Amino acid sequence: MFSNKNQNRNFHYLFFLIFFLPIFFQDLIQAQIADPDPKRFKEEIEAFILWDAKNSVNENAILFVGSSSIRLWSTASYFPEFYVINRGFGGSHISDVNHYYEQIVKKYKPARIIFYAGDNDIADGKSAQQVLEDFQVFTSRVARDFPKTRVYYLPIKPSISRWQFWPLMSEANTMINQFIQQKPFLTYVDTATPILNAAGEPNSDLFVKDGLHLSVKGYQLWSKILLPFLEEE
């Protein structure tokens, strides 16, 4: 009788080790992913500062900020009726945007902000929770400095080259959307779902050869989706 109880305990313990412990450590590792060094973007940020020193910047502009999906977007061409500022820098995490907030966000006193980042965060091992928390840091700063400024969140896109990360990226989008619904100054603009085809996979026509960055058709789609939101204000 005693030996059977011990065997049962050992079986339950072994079951825990095999099935639950890996999940626990995976979550723990994800939660501890360190932010990459923001200094790797020193030259890009200095180029923005130099441009600002040579050009006048219109306050109450629409600021596009985030990673390469913002940087490669010809925002001035797609939205000629608005004064726009593009401060995207490729490979950036949300933590990088937060680090350089003073230089690439606050100084412009933007009326509206179009935000896209988180793609690289997930691909580099960060959890959906970490992406959410970094976005919350960003939006809390905007709310503090510019209470009347609206932030439009463009969700992490499903892409061909990072398709294996889509479940986690989709989870991050859902968590951020739930957060946004509680904040009147935030808007979720679904530019992710329309990228999927009838089979539920990324439409190859919307990407360039690397399968990660948007093609002209991809940016036309994004611009078409975003424009009505900008025209509402």
pTM for the model stands at 0.86
Phi, psi of 62, deg, nearest 5? -95, 120
Please report, for the domain that includes residue 112, its CATH number.
3.40.50.1110
Assigned domain for 14 exists: no
Q: Write out the residue range of the structural domain in which residue 50 sits.
A: 33-232
Assigned domain for 207 exists: yes
Assigned domain for 24 exists: no
Is the Cα torsion angle 198, 199, 200, 202 positive or negative in sign?
negative
Domain count, the chain: 1
Q: What is the C-alpha to C-alpha distance for residues 151 and 140, in angstroms, rounded to an integer?
A: 11
**Could you list the pLDDT tens digit for every one of the 233 residues in the chain?**
445 555 555 555 554 445 554 544 455 444 558 999 999 999 999 999 999 999 988 888 999 999 999 999 999 999 999 999 999 999 999 999 999 999 999 999 999 999 999 999 999 999 999 999 999 999 999 999 999 999 999 999 999 999 999 999 999 999 999 999 999 999 999 999 999 999 999 999 999 999 999 999 999 999 999 999 999 86
